[in-house]
Amino acid sequence: MNLRVKHWIYGIFCLLVAIIAIGPELHAASNTHPEKATVESQVKEKKLNNNNNTSHMRTPIDWHKSSETIPYPDLSKVKDFWIKVDLKNNRTYLYDGSKIIYTMYSTGGIYKKDPKTGEMKSATPTGTFYAQQERGDSFFNQSLKEGANYYVSWKNHGEYLFHSVPTKADGKYNEEEAAKLGKTQGSHGCIRLSIPDAQWMEQNLPVGTKIEIVG
């Protein structure tokens, strides 16, 4: 056997050894699916984003508890305090200037069709109003057969209020109506809040605070 043939046989032998050595790695690589890896990465990133979510809203909504899991704002440290009520989205926002500092689940007035314009209009008036001095721990409207706790007036000195979810004649909370909090409209025109949120409003809302209500 000449030298050239020997070199050729040796080269083939080395190639076979190399293939046998890297075979398992090639097999593993062939089972890797780039699309699957990308999806798994996206799912992992989504989980991380969810874990880093800065929202403190309480879920599910519980009308017995505060809307957020963090303390209420200290108004002595708020420079430009005002309130925005979003009737359609069932939220009441506490602001310091342009920054939302607390969000409350809320329920505003039922929407009915305006006979003049044909538009759906809330029983809650929209516009700019200011917190008034009338406030208290409870009331009951005999004509409506409905009451509430922890109220503070923002229009017509006792006609339109922030207050808790409604109570019945016996003073117990109307659980069917309370379940609407933060989900849909349902009041006769007032803004319903959870029990602790309403109590905070009664005790802390300064007279003259600007309140913007949008439909």
Q: What is the pTM of this model?
A: 0.74
81-138 pLDDT tens trace: 999 999 999 999 999 999 999 999 999 999 998 888 889 999 999 999 999 999 999 9
In the chain, what are the domain boundaries?
3-51, 75-214
SS3 state of residue 114:
coil
Q: pLDDT at residue 23 above 80?
A: no
Is there a catalytic annotation at residue 163?
yes
- The kind and range of the H/E element at 191 are strand 191-193
Q: In this structure, what token pair is assigned to residue 176? A: 């069917």
Q: pLDDT at residue 11 above 90?
A: no
206 CB-contact burial (10 Å; exposed 0-12 / middle 13-18 / buried 19+): exposed
**Cα distance between residue 76 and residue 54, in whole Å:** 24
Marked catalytic residue, from 33, 56, 163, 188: 163
Residue of 175, 144, 150 lying closest to 163 (CA atoms): 150
Is there a catalytic annotation at residue 190?
yes
- Pairing mode, strands 91-96 and 160-164: unpaired
Tally: H helices and E strands in the chain:
4, 11
Query: Who has greater pLDDT, 182 or 14?
Result: 182
| β-strand partners of 91 | 86, 105
SS3 state of residue 156:
coil
Opening angle at CA 166, ends 165 and 171, nearest 5: 120
**Cα distance between residue 162 and residue 191, in whole Å:** 5
- Sole residue written with tokens 């909504």: 61
Query: For residue 18, what pLDDT is reported?
Result: 47
CATH code for the domain defined by 75-214: 2.40.440.10
Query: For residue 65, what pLDDT is reported?
Result: 98
Residue of 45, 63, 60, 51 lying closest to 196 (CA atoms): 63
